[in-house]
Structure 1
Amino acid sequence: MYSIFLVDDEELELEMIRDYIRWEEMGIYVAGTALNGRDALEKIEVIQPDIVLTDVQMPVMNGLDMAKRVSELFDWIQFVFLTGHDEFNYVKSALNVGAVGYLLKPLDLSEIVSVIDKVKRRCEEVRMKNRSIRVTKSNIVREMIFEQNEERFRNLAASYHKLSRHTEPRTYTLTLLGIDAPHAAQPGLSLEDGMARLQTFMEEWLADKKLEADLVVCREGELGIFMDAAGHLSRFTWEDLLKQMQNTLGFTMTAAVNEEPEELSRIQDVYRETRQMLEEMFYVGNGRVIYAKDVLRQLESRQIPPFQETAYFEDIHQLASEQAAQKLRDYFNRLVMLRIRKTEVCDFAIGLVERLLEGIHEPITESHKRAELYHAIYQCRTIIEIEAIIMDFAGHAIQTLEHRFMDKNARLVHQVRTMIDQTYHQAITINSLSDQVYLSPNYLRSIFKEKTGMTIHDYLTRIRLNKAKELLADDSLKVQDIAQRVGYESTSYFISLFLKSQGVTPNEYRKNI
């Protein structure tokens, strides 16, 4: 439907026009009324109707002067003038200021329908033209963001200014909306569909609020709102808008609001800065509004702090889930405060999970499972999600250990494996192990093989060689030193075991690292 604003200095006539003409049957709704041109001008600036039906002769400000003032502000508003037979000269003047038509008093219903049909056609033409201009401007903004050729950039800026029809230089602000994995909230909803819904919502919201902005699809899942700084939204409005979007669309978004007004020539810098703000989501979480002035003014750090891994694993093995969880929470809070880069956080998480699984003797040996873990962690958009993945693995580890401890022999084998893990560098024999668990060597061999599928000797060899591979990365260590560090007095025996297991000698392995 189209909106119409009615102006007449005769209050009775104004009420009759408003109440007795069947506007809704013509696809029109009355947006407001006024008794003179000045009052109408003030209200029209706020309401911005599609059509104004106004009397010509009025006190304070006549219809012609009001129409000229309105047209200077909103050249797309259509005017229809009311006039008497003795005011034909005014009618000609009205048509000269761009009126679509006029209606003679007393009003004739068929004439009203005819004129309104003409006005609606003009309104539709204006809407289509404005829609085309908006699309063109949005495309220009997107091109300017990524354009590297200076001359081409200047030409695009000139085209944008021409389409904007501004007589004076303007400054602009940019906000980026990033969709937070719509398929997580609505299974089956693609990122492309989510973007289409978001764009439609924003177009309707801007139209309803009578706001102008260029909506720019900058990257996949990222919508830019480029608007005149004079019309920039308050923080309260952004917060409320984000809630409306999330309630209506059914998935969350993160907004990066760059409140600093900038000239069009700086759009590439502004985009780069705003996109960096959007990446702050990794630390603060999804579904937030992030403001430039609130972002921590510190560089991301690559230097990840030490983690109490030994104490953490001890809590896991002692089934102290809450203590382990608190250690992890405290550590991740520290990572957030230090703004440790995402790649470092992801690499730490992958390594911790791998060592956690090795500690409960469920190492990731298949390459596809390692790839799944890598993908699951690196696709996380926030550090909170990465922490949650580690928590899940820790919970699995504790459940596994609880289940094992219900089996006396499994608990015993776990104890032996832990002893080997901690003392592999020492002289370990089946007799020394059996003495510590108060079992005969043969019985210990039997239950260990039953529960693990391997002999104690094979398990010890695997642990020692895995540690040796880690030490080979240190060029300052000789092969002889490494052999002794992992529990082998005979270097030649160590080399033969390594060759048999890895297919290459320790030195050849080192060259390929």
Structure 2
Amino acid sequence: MYSIFLVDDEELELEMIRDYIRWEEMGIYVAGTALNGRDALEKIEVIQPDIVLTDVQMPVMNGLDMAKRVSELFDWIQFVFLTGHDEFNYVKSALNVGAVGYLLKPLDLSEIVSVIDKVKRRCEEVRMKNRSIRVTKSNIVREMMFEQNEERFRNLAASYHKLSRHTEPRTYTLTLLGLDAPHAAQPGLSLEDGMARLQTHMEEWLADKKLEADLIICREGELGIFMDAASHLSRFTWEDLLKQMQDALGFTMTAAVNEEPEELSRIQDLYRETRLMLEEMFYVGNGRVIYAKDVLRQLESRQIPPFQETAYFEDIHQLASEQAAQKLRDYFNRLVMLRIRKTEVCDFAIGLVERLLEGIHEPITESHKRAELYQSIYQCRTMIEIEAIIMDFAGHAIRTLEHRFMDKNARLVHQVRTTIDQTYHQAITINSLSDQVYLSPNYLRSIFKEKTGMTIHDYLTKIRLNKAKELLADDSLKVQDIAQRVGYESTSYFISLFLKSQGVTPNEYRKNI
């Protein structure tokens, strides 16, 4: 549907045109009215209708002068003139200022329908042309963001200025909208579909607000809004717009709003700075608006602080879920304050999860499971998501322990395995273990094999050899030292066990690390 603005100095005539012509049946809605050219000019600058139907002869400012002024501001607005004088000079003047047609008073309905059909065809042509220009400008902006050849960059800038039809120098601002995994909110919705819906919504919003901006898909899941600094939106508007889009689309997005105006020649710096702002979501969380003041990159550090891991695992094994969760929350809050880099946070999270699973005797052994863990953590866009993954694994560990503790034999086997895990470097016998759990050696052997699928001796050997493989990475340690550190007094016996288990000697294993 197209909008029309009506101008006539005769109030009764204006009301008749507005109320008695069936505009909606022609696919038109009346956006406003005015009684003279000057009043119309002020209102049209705000409303920016598709069509203006105006009388020629009016006081204060006539229709022809008003049309010339409007056309200088908005060359896409279409004009139809009304005149009670069937004179060629008026018609010629009207057509010279770009009128699509003219109507004689008194109005004839069939003539109105014919002229409006012609105007609508012209409006559609203008829309198609403007849409093509917008697409071309957006493509140019995207190319300029990444173009390294200086001559090519200057040519692109010249093309952009030509399409923008600006005579004076302009400055621009950039906002980046990053999608926060739309498939998580709407299963089955791909990132591409989410981006398409976001772009369409943004185009409609800009059109409704009569704002011009170039929308650029800068990279996967990232929409850029490049606009004249004079038209830049207020902070309140961005906050309101983000909430409106999230409610309408059903998924969240994060906005990095760079309010610092830059010339077109500095667009690459503008994009680089705005992208750093968007990455700040890793610390502040997604689904919000980020401004330059939120970016604390000067604090960024690779030095990750120590974690109360012993106390944390004690809480896990005592099934104190809330105390363990609070320790983790406090630690992550500290990581946020220190702006610890993402790689360090991810590596810490992966190591903690692995130790959580080892603590309940479910180590990650299959390579694909390890790869899945790495991928799930490194793909997180915020520290909140990484913290949530650790929380899930901690919950799994506590539920597993709860289930085992309900089973007396499972609880006893867990106790024995924990003892072996902690004292593997000492002399361990079946008798010493059975004494700790008040069972006979034979019965302990039986329930241990039942619950774990391996003998106590095999489990002890596995733990010792796994630790030995870690120690072999240290070239300063001799094989004899390593054998003693993992509980073997006889180096030859250690080597024979290692060879049988790994298919190579300790020294051969060390060479392949």
Would the alpha carbon gap of residues 155 and 299 (structure 1) be closer, same or farther in structure 2, given more than 3 Å must change?
farther
Q: Which moved more, 1:164-173 or 1:301-310?
A: 301-310
Q: CA deviation at 1:137?
A: 0.5
Write the deviation string for residues 159-194 of structure 1: whole angstroms up to 9, x where unpaired.
000000000011111111111111111111111111
Moved over 6 A (4+): none
Q: Secondary structure at the match of 2:305?
A: coil
CA distance in 2, matches of 1:35, 1:143: 48
Q: CA deviation at 1:158?
A: 0.4
Q: CA deviation at 1:73?
A: 0.7
Q: Which moved more, 1:270-279 or 1:169-178?
A: 270-279
Would the alpha carbon gap of residues 463 and 57 (structure 1) be closer, same or farther in structure 2, given more than 3 Å must change?
same
Q: CA deviation at 1:353?
A: 1.2
Aligned 8 A contact 2:297 2:339 in 1: no
Write the deviation string for residues 452-511 of structure 1: whole angstroms up to 9, x where unpaired.
222222111111111122222222222222222222222222222222211222222222
Write the deviation string for residues 20-78 of structure 1: whole angstroms up to 9, x where unpaired.
21211221111001111111111000000011111222222221221111111101111
Aligned 8 A contact 2:140 2:160 in 1: yes
Aligned 8 A contact 2:86 2:104 in 1: no
CA distance in 2, matches of 1:142, 1:365: 45
CA distance in 2, matches of 1:423, 1:435: 15
| Overall identity of the aligned pairs, in % | 97
Q: Secondary structure at the match of 1:100?
A: strand
* RMSD value, Cα: 1.5
CA distance in 2, matches of 1:476, 1:234: 62
Q: CA deviation at 1:434?
A: 2.4
Q: CA deviation at 1:299?
A: 4.9
Name stretches of at least 5 consecutive residues in structure 1 with no aligned partner.
none
Write the deviation string for residues 67-108 of structure 1: whole angstroms up to 9, x where unpaired.
111111101111112222276434322221212222222222
Q: CA deviation at 1:280?
A: 1.5
CA distance in 2, matches of 1:350, 1:297: 24
Trace 1:135-150 onto structure 2 (pairs within 5 A): 135-150=135-150
Would the alpha carbon gap of residues 302 and 493 (structure 1) be closer, same or farther in structure 2, given more than 3 Å must change?
same
CA distance in 2, matches of 1:460, 1:87: 108
Q: CA deviation at 1:436?
A: 2.5
Pairing 1:10–2:13 present: no
Aligned 8 A contact 2:137 2:214 in 1: yes
Aligned residue in 2 for 1:400:
400
Aligned 8 A contact 2:282 2:383 in 1: yes
CA distance in 1, matches of 2:156, 2:356: 55
CA distance in 1, matches of 2:167, 2:477: 73
CA distance in 2, matches of 1:436, 1:25: 91
Write the deviation string for residues 269-300 of structure 1: whole angstroms up to 9, x where unpaired.
11111122212222222211111232224253
CA distance in 2, matches of 1:140, 1:250: 31
Aligned residue in 2 for 1:441:
441
Aligned residue in 1 for 2:296:
296
CA distance in 2, matches of 1:97, 1:444: 101
Q: CA deviation at 1:237?
A: 1.1
CA distance in 2, matches of 1:505, 1:301: 41
Aligned 8 A contact 2:285 2:382 in 1: yes
Aligned residue in 2 for 1:206:
206
Q: Which moved more, 1:489-498 or 1:400-409?
A: 489-498
Name stretches of at least 5 consecutive residues in structure 2 with no aligned partner.
none
CA distance in 2, matches of 1:446, 1:20: 96
CA distance in 2, matches of 1:85, 1:446: 112
Q: TM-score, normalised by structure 2?
A: 0.97
Q: Which moved more, 1:1-10 or 1:501-510?
A: 501-510
Q: Which moved more, 1:236-245 or 1:432-441?
A: 432-441
Aligned 8 A contact 2:103 2:112 in 1: yes
Q: CA deviation at 1:233?
A: 0.7
